[in-house]
Structure 1
Amino acid sequence: MALYRKVETEVEIKASTQKFHEIINRKLYRVSNVSSNKIRSCELHEGEWGKVGTILYWHYTHDEKDRVAKSVTEDVDEENNSLTWNMVEGDHLKHYKSFKIKIQCIPKDKGSVIRFTLEYEKLHEKIPDSHTFLLFCVDIAKDIDAYLMGDNNEGSFITKA
C-alpha cells in the first residue's frame, strides 16, 4: 500500500484573489489576529515575507492541541497567485515523512476560489489521511475572507483585543 497521499479541496470566498494572496503570502503575521483560535503566531525566522526560501515558525491549535511547525516557502507564483510551503520540522513530521501545503487563489466573476492541496507521505499505513488538517485550512481561509470583507483598514496592523 502506497503511503504517499494528495488531498485537495476548494472553498469559495467573497474577497478578491489579490487581497487573499497578499495576506497569505506577504502578511502572514496578521493571520494570528484574524484567526486567533487556530493560528497563535506565524513568525519570520529567516528571509523575507513572500519570498522563496523564507523560513517560518508556526504556533497553532489543531484537533484541540497546541502544535508547532517550521516551514520553508518552496514556491511562489505571483502570476497564478499560488504558493507552496514545505514543513521541515514540527508536529506534522511525527506522523509524516514529508508534508507540503499548496494554496492557489483563483479569480471568479465575484470573489475567488481558494484551492488547498496537501501532499504528504505517511510514516506508516495506520496514520489517517490528513482530512482534518484540510478542513483546518478551509476554516482559516473563511476567517481571512471575513476579515477582508469586514469593516477594516487593510493598511493598518490589527492588534489582538
Structure 2
Amino acid sequence: MPLFEIAFHGQVRPGVTPEQARARIGQLFQVGDEQLNVLFSGRRVVIKQGLDEASADKYRQAIERAGAVCSVDQMGQEETPAPDTSSAASTSPSGQPHSTGGASVRPRDAYMAAFSEVEAPDFGIAPVGADMQDEYEEFVDLPIDLSALSLAPAGSDLEQLRPEVAPVKPNIDHLRLQD
C-alpha cells in the first residue's frame, strides 16, 4: 500500500488573498506567526507524511478550503512541484517574488526549512588522535599587585560583630491571679 505526504509551497488559490489564506491556515493547524512564516516562505514544507490515500485527500481538501494549494506526493518517488495557479502564488506574503534560479536544496520539513539558507563551509574530519587546537600559548601571569591584601587567621569570624541587645523585661504589674 503506497504512503503519501502533504507538501505545502506557500501558494494560495485564485481569488484568495495571501493574508486570508495565512489566517485560515493558522486556524486550521493552530500555529503561530513564526510557523506561518515558515509555511508561507515559498519553500516546500512537508506538513504530514505516512498517510494513506484517503487521509491524504482529506488533508488536501481541508487545505484547499482554507484557500491554499498543496500537493499530495507519493513517498519514495520524485517530488513534483505544485502548479503555479495565479500571479499571487509567485509572490511571498511580503510581496517579494520568490527566486527560482540556480540549484537549491528543498528542506524535508519545517525544521530543516529554517536552515535552508545557511551557507556553511565544508569542514573535513580530522584523523583519530589529531590535535584540534591550532597553537598553544604560554601562560603569562597578570601583573596584579596583591601585596596590600592579607588573610585572616583560620577560625576567625569574618562577619560584622553584632551589638549585644539587652532583653526587654515586660511590665506585668497590672496583672493579677484570681481564685
TM-score, with length taken from structure 2 = 0.23
Determine which structure has the larger strand proportion and give its number.
1
Q: Which has the larger radius of gyration?
A: 2
